[in-house]
Copies of this chain bind each other. A is one copy, B any other.
């Protein structure tokens, strides 16, 4: 620390920040176990208290009470689209551009297929070596199936602009890196892609609910996302896909299920795609998961996104400052971009990562103390800063625990030598 550095925040400072926090009223909307500081909402959001009530109502009143007639009476059949329209408000899409359906991976397959078919003379799918593996694997699976010489070209994030040329059919990126929280500039990269006629497919798994997303202002072509991280819809909650309205006539995907048919109940022998986003719905929607998502999304839509982003950055900066000042001697290295921004480009998402050779042991020792973050191979400790249920004092206390773990060598416990981790 130099003489000119601001003083290190104290616990009292953090309590004062909490006292004036406009988002603090949301904390009571989530069920958080006593004694837990939850810094893993970037992997699985916690339970919104409204979800069990909403799910139970769907089970008992809708399914139990209405049986088969619930498909129309309770709007089950249209939930992928009605919920998509609500989600559109959060991510800068228009009504009719989003369907909540299937899983992120399956939606990625659908959207990538649609985009490749719109650029039949191009064979390159451009992505990054640090993209989330399922995105890369789904592209590999599709390429092998197509058997037409498509190449998944993976480059370092900084080399993307140089790699964009007229051979590239699709630029497929995850906006916020799952390990480091680094953010791609969606608007700039989309513009660069469009300059050479390349379509863009954005994975927003770590973006939606974490940072302001404006798909249409960014001119994004296709996108996919999940619901169970920053959107708090529960483990493996339903995923979603976005097709810009300007592409909705041209975009066709190969998972042509009956609910994407123009007239599902005509039971024609031949598939004819429905108009609009509905053609990307394949099968009967999983209603229980959808209503859980609906209840969780209501909370996100009630909060102000700019306020959420502002608080998330403040929490992250507090964490970095405290870790580097309190635990700096133990070899933790910041693995995230040092700066975040409240405006485009965002630079860092909703998480802060540190690297440490004993990272797995540190995360496990923290969990034993009730501070839940997670670990990613080979050496990354991830901590999510979700402004609706994390207080400033939680950050302070988490760093105190981290300091204690390191001081006492709790992370060196031999039982942590055998790693296992989970998303």
Q: Are B70 and A141 in contact (CB under 8 A)?
A: no
- At the interface, yes or no: A36 with Cβ under 8 Å from chain B? yes
Q: Are A283 and B106 in contact (CB under 8 A)?
A: yes
A44 contact from B67, B136, B256, B422, Cβ within 8 A: B67
Q: Are B141 and A255 in contact (CB under 8 A)?
A: yes
Q: Are A67 and B256 in contact (CB under 8 A)?
A: no
Within 8 A of B (CB), among A236-288: 236-239, 253-261, 264-271, 282-288
- At the interface, yes or no: A289 with Cβ under 8 Å from chain B? yes
- At the interface, yes or no: A91 with Cβ under 8 Å from chain B? no
Task: Report the separation of the CA atoms of residues A213 and B305 in the bound assembly, to the nearest whole angstrom.
Answer: 52
Q: Are B265 and A421 in contact (CB under 8 A)?
A: yes
- At the interface, yes or no: A346 with Cβ under 8 Å from chain B? no
Q: Are A68 and B374 in contact (CB under 8 A)?
A: yes
Task: Report the separation of the CA atoms of residues A145 and B112 in the bound assembly, to the nearest whole angstrom.
Answer: 12
Task: Report the separation of the CA atoms of residues A235 and B288 in the bound assembly, to the nearest whole angstrom.
Answer: 7
A422 contact from B77, B254, B367, Cβ within 8 A: B77
Residues of the B chain whose Cβ atoms lie less than 8 Å from the Cβ of A65: 33
Q: Are A106 and B282 in contact (CB under 8 A)?
A: yes
Q: Are B59 and A47 in contact (CB under 8 A)?
A: yes
Task: Report the separation of the CA atoms of residues A237 and B288 in the bound assembly, to the nearest whole angstrom.
Answer: 8
- Given known pairs A60-B52, A254-B142, A288-B288, the reply for A70 and B235 (CB within 8 Å) is yes
Contacting chain B: which of A4-12, A97-105, A183-191, A351-359?
A: A97-105
Q: Are A236 and B56 in contact (CB under 8 A)?
A: no
Residues of the B chain whose Cβ atoms lie less than 8 Å from the Cβ of A47: 59-60, 63-64
Q: Are B377 and A288 in contact (CB under 8 A)?
A: no
Q: Are B46 and A51 in contact (CB under 8 A)?
A: no
- At the interface, yes or no: A175 with Cβ under 8 Å from chain B? no
Task: Report the separation of the CA atoms of residues A287 and B258 in the bound assembly, to the nearest whole angstrom.
Answer: 25
Q: Are A288 and B55 in contact (CB under 8 A)?
A: yes
Q: Are A254 and B144 in contact (CB under 8 A)?
A: yes
Task: Report the separation of the CA atoms of residues A271 and B144 in the bound assembly, to the nearest whole angstrom.
Answer: 11
Residues of the B chain whose Cβ atoms lie less than 8 Å from the Cβ of A102: 102-103, 106
Residues of the B chain whose Cβ atoms lie less than 8 Å from the Cβ of A264: 133
Mask, A382-415, CB within 8 Å of B = 1, is 0000000000000000000000000000000000
Residues of the B chain whose Cβ atoms lie less than 8 Å from the Cβ of A51: 59
Residues of the B chain whose Cβ atoms lie less than 8 Å from the Cβ of A134: 257-259, 283
Q: Are B31 and A76 in contact (CB under 8 A)?
A: no
User: Separation in Å of the A382 CB from the closest CB of chain B?
Assistant: 11
Q: Are B72 and A422 in contact (CB under 8 A)?
A: yes
User: Separation in Å of the A151 CB from the closest CB of chain B?
Assistant: 13
Task: Report the separation of the CA atoms of residues A266 and B253 in the bound assembly, to the nearest whole angstrom.
Answer: 30
User: Separation in Å of the A101 CB from the closest CB of chain B?
Assistant: 9
- At the interface, yes or no: A129 with Cβ under 8 Å from chain B? yes
Residues of the B chain whose Cβ atoms lie less than 8 Å from the Cβ of A377: 265-267
A67 contact from B46, B72, B253, Cβ within 8 A: B46
- Given known pairs A59-B47, A422-B72, the reply for A254 and B103 (CB within 8 Å) is no
- 12 A-B residue contacts at CB 8 Å? A40-B68, A71-B423, A102-B106, A132-B258, A133-B264, A133-B269, A137-B260, A137-B270, A140-B270, A142-B254, A236-B288, A265-B421
In addition to A33-B64, A103-B282, A236-B285, 15 A-B residue pairs with Cβ atoms within 8 Å of each other are A33-B67, A59-B234, A68-B372, A69-B422, A70-B235, A102-B103, A133-B268, A137-B260, A137-B270, A140-B271, A146-B147, A234-B287, A265-B421, A267-B377, A284-B423
Cβ-closest 5 pairs across A and B: A141-B256, A103-B283, A134-B258, A105-B257, A47-B64
